[in-house]
Amino acid sequence: MTKNESVINWIESVKRIVKPDNVVWIDGSESQLESLRGEACKRNEIIKLNPEKCPGCYLRRSALNDVARAEDRTFICTKTKEEAGPTNNWWEPKFAYDKVLGIAKNSYIGKTMYIIPYSMGMPESKFSKIGIELTDSIYTVLNMAIMTRVGKNILEKLGDSNDWVRGLHCSCELDEEKRYVCHFPEDKTIISVNSGYGGNVLLGKKCFALRIASFLARKEKWLAEHMLILGVEKPNGEVKYVCAAFPSACGKTNLAMLIPPQIYKSKGYKVWCVGDDIAWLRIGKDGRLWAINPENGFFGVAPGTSNKSNPNAMATVAKNTIFTNVVHNLEDNTVWWEGMDNNPPENAVDWKGNPWNGKISSERGAHPNSRFTAPAKNCPYLSKEFDNPEGVPISAIIFGGRRASTIPLVYEARDWNHGVFVGSTISSESTAASTGKLGVLRHNPMAMMPFCGYNMGEYFSHWIEMGKLLGKNAPKIFSVNWFGTDNQGNFLWPGYGDNLRVLEWIINRCEGKIGAKKTPIGFLPYEKDINTSGMNISSDVLNMLLNVDIEKWKKEAGKIKEFYKIFENKLPPELKNQLLILEENLIK
Ligand code: OXD
Ligand code: MN
């Protein structure tokens, strides 16, 4: 399929190690994908679902030990440990190559090597970057064909260039003890062994579009971020775009696909989804910050997704979708998950493959990190700019986490550097998207902690630097927290569609239309400026949501100080200074 020597040589060198029986190039054609789906069904790797009720949809059950990103087995293999920084696992490159290629050795014997040429971003966009993933798993091929732009045309675009990201995925025995996801940013290479889970094996996603891309972005002066992108269309037809970074499973997909509350809908507001997980941001010719979503699909968390919480996602997964680790409803060969509706199937199979009766079983049927992989094109409110090679201009950047207390519903940073400080101090209660304990409060700067491909202290400096380059065109930066609770643990804010009320405040601030309260932590809304009409919320609750509790913030500042210590001399002075300002503001 190509004469590109760098491609041919690399593939040949990998073939000598993994020893496939066959090699198949993925050309991106529907006929090839359809025959692969048939083959995977025959091998019981996926199950074809009811063609009337869920056309083109398939179910996959993963190995029981392979259901989330393996953060503690994910490595950044730069020459020195310092380059990977204190928040990444690090291996010296030669050691890492020996280790993972040793595991990969002979692992394709009796198998086919699928070669997937893909582009992150529109192939014709100058924002885009090309990768080639080798895999022994048809499930991986089918997912990559949804999540990225795959096919022959990508190789044509690459021509004889050596500028592409190498990716090798070997399923091996799915042995947890030998599961590794290694990144070699200097070689633009990713090697993943012993997993079949999306985040570990769809190498275009977290591995390339975040870890490798963030490393490249620093050199090339742009940003690769764990952010959704959405456009708010106002009644006059004008669309304002914002990016938002939240840790995994904090509702990025729901926010990206938000349906306006009735009162906004009737005025003519619409929300357009550009992306739900990753944004690549560059400074455009006009000096503003422009974003593309490098992906072509959604790899969303299924549980909790319903016609009530996210009707757009439900419409998006209605066809041509791969479901992983959800419940199989044997009555009509469809799927189900907790939170979809109050009608769990009785005659079903749970994510582990065991018979399951949703009416009487005490165990959950779908894994908490069960997923859908769905084409972006299915989303009824996909932005018309989704395919625009230039991307969309960004008015605001939003940072958020899952916090029961302390962090108000929304506030605005005083300026770019303060915004970088706000982003660097995000913390969140951990969720099921990665292995490890649930509900533990963890710092997760810019929601990038598991995804930054180099020293995070330097990543902060890069953010500060980008602010200098953007100057007066820098977007405003905000913090949001949808997850504040009362003393009984009840959520104070309804979230979902009502989050548009907060987005409206943010956009009004960007347009300089309204004032705000100056507080020790930044600018907070005046109560009157959050539109609560049509909402059942008392002034007391709104007060709680917009409260700055000085004592709690003093503790927060203490935790930030502690957290910052890990960056040692790499912490930019601008952030040290921001912490001092916060501490001073709190004792004033
Ligand atoms: C994801 C994640 O899958 O962040 O998007 O874990
Ligand atoms: Mn994510």
Instruction: Tell me, yes or no, whether 292 and 250 share the same domain.
Output: yes
Instruction: Kindly give the pairing relationship between strand 189-193 and strand 180-184.
Output: antiparallel
Instruction: Tell me, yes or no, whether 118 and 10 share the same domain.
Output: yes
Q: Kindly state whether residue 56 falls inside one of the protein's structural domains.
A: no
Ligand 1 neighbour 197 (Cβ under 6 A): no
The pLDDT of residue 439 is above 70 = no
Instruction: Tell me, yes or no, whether 142 and 29 share the same domain.
Output: yes
Q: Which long-range contacts (CB under 8 A, 24 or more apart) does 562-570 make?
A: 563/425, 563/443, 566/86, 566/87, 567/85, 567/86, 567/456, 567/457, 567/460, 568/86, 568/457, 569/457, 570/85, 570/455, 570/456, 570/457, 570/458, 570/460, 570/461
* Cα–Cα distance, 478 to 167 (Å, whole number): 36
Instruction: Tell me, yes or no, whether 542 and 508 share the same domain.
Output: yes
Give pLDDT, residue 96: 98
Ligand 1 neighbour 299 (Cβ under 6 A): yes
Ligand 1 neighbour 277 (Cβ under 6 A): yes
Give pLDDT, residue 588: 81
Q: Kindly state whether residue 136 falls inside one of the protein's structural domains.
A: yes
The pLDDT of residue 164 is above 90 = yes
Residue located nearest, by CA, to atom 1 of ligand 1: 248
Domain with 369 in it: what CATH number? 2.170.8.10
> How far, in Å, is the centroid of ligand 1 from the Cα of 68?
9
Residue 248: pLDDT band (50, 70, 90) is confident
Instruction: Tell me, yes or no, whether 349 and 473 share the same domain.
Output: no
- How many C-beta atoms lie closer than 10 Å to residue 436's C-beta? 15
> How far, in Å, is the centroid of ligand 2 from the Cα of 463?
20
Domain with 121 in it: what CATH number? 3.40.449.10
* Cα–Cα distance, 306 to 216 (Å, whole number): 38
Residue 156: CB partners within 8 Å, gap ≥ 6?
none
248, 253, 428, 435: residue to mutate for ligand 1 pocket, most atoms within 8 A of CB: 248
Domain with 247 in it: what CATH number? 3.90.228.20
pLDDT (tens digit, 9 = 90+) per residue, 497-524? 999 999 999 999 999 999 999 999 999 9
Instruction: Tell me, yes or no, whether 198 and 238 share the same domain.
Output: no
pLDDT (tens digit, 9 = 90+) per residue, 276-320? 999 999 999 999 999 999 999 999 999 999 999 999 999 999 999
pLDDT (tens digit, 9 = 90+) per residue, 538-559? 999 999 999 999 999 999 999 9
Ligand 1 neighbour 20 (Cβ under 6 A): no
Q: Kindly state whether residue 436 falls inside one of the protein's structural domains.
A: yes
Assess whether 250 carries a catalytic annotation: yes
Exposed (0-12), middle (13-18) or buried (19+): which is 139, by Cβ within 10 Å? buried
Q: In the chain, what percentage of residues exceed pLDDT 90?
A: 96
Q: Kindly state whether residue 536 falls inside one of the protein's structural domains.
A: yes
Q: Which residues surround ligand 2, an ion (CB under 5 A)?
A: 248, 277
The pLDDT of residue 436 is above 70 = no
> How far, in Å, is the centroid of ligand 2 from the Cα of 279?
11
* Cα–Cα distance, 324 to 452 (Å, whole number): 26
Give pLDDT, residue 79: 98
Atom number, ligand 1, closest to the C-alpha of residue 226: 4
Q: Kindly state whether residue 64 falls inside one of the protein's structural domains.
A: no
Helix (H) or strand (E) holding 553: helix 550-564
The pLDDT of residue 249 is above 70 = yes
Ligand 1 neighbour 499 (Cβ under 6 A): no
The pLDDT of residue 434 is above 70 = no
> Could you give the number of structural domains in the chain?
3
Q: Kindly state whether residue 219 falls inside one of the protein's structural domains.
A: no
Give pLDDT, residue 435: 57
Instruction: Tell me, yes or no, whether 157 and 275 share the same domain.
Output: no
Instruction: Tell me, yes or no, whether 408 and 555 share the same domain.
Output: yes
- In this structure, which amino acid lies at residue 326? V
Give pLDDT, residue 429: 79
Ligand 1 neighbour 199 (Cβ under 6 A): yes
Domain of 161? 5-43+70-213
> How far, in Å, is the centroid of ligand 2 from the Cα of 245?
9
Calculate mean pLDDT across residues 252-275. Answer: 97
Instruction: Tell me, yes or no, whether 547 and 499 share the same domain.
Output: yes
Ligand 1 neighbour 248 (Cβ under 6 A): yes
Instruction: Tell me, yes or no, whether 188 and 256 share the same domain.
Output: no
Instruction: Answer with the one of 353, 375, 397 that is the final residue of a domain.
Output: 375
Atom number, ligand 1, closest to the C-alpha of residue 447: 4
Q: Kindly state whether residue 50 falls inside one of the protein's structural domains.
A: no
* Cα–Cα distance, 295 to 153 (Å, whole number): 17
Q: Kindly state whether residue 167 falls inside one of the protein's structural domains.
A: yes
Question: Lowest-confidence range among 64-68, 248-252, 260-264, 367-371?
Answer: 248-252
Out of 54, 170, 207, 250, pick the active-site residue.
250
Atom number, ligand 1, closest to the C-alpha of residue 247: 4
Instruction: Tell me, yes or no, whether 291 and 316 share the same domain.
Output: no
pLDDT (tens digit, 9 = 90+) per residue, 564-586? 999 999 999 999 999 999 999 99
Give pLDDT, residue 441: 82
pLDDT (tens digit, 9 = 90+) per residue, 393-432? 999 999 999 999 999 999 999 999 999 999 999 999 776 5
The per-residue pLDDT of the chain, averaged, comes to: 96
67, 69, 252, 372: residue to mutate for ligand 1 pocket, most atoms within 8 A of CB: 69
Instruction: Answer with the one of 317, 349, 375 that is the final residue of a domain.
Output: 375
Residue 489: pLDDT band (50, 70, 90) is confident
Instruction: Tell me, yes or no, whether 369 and 388 share the same domain.
Output: no
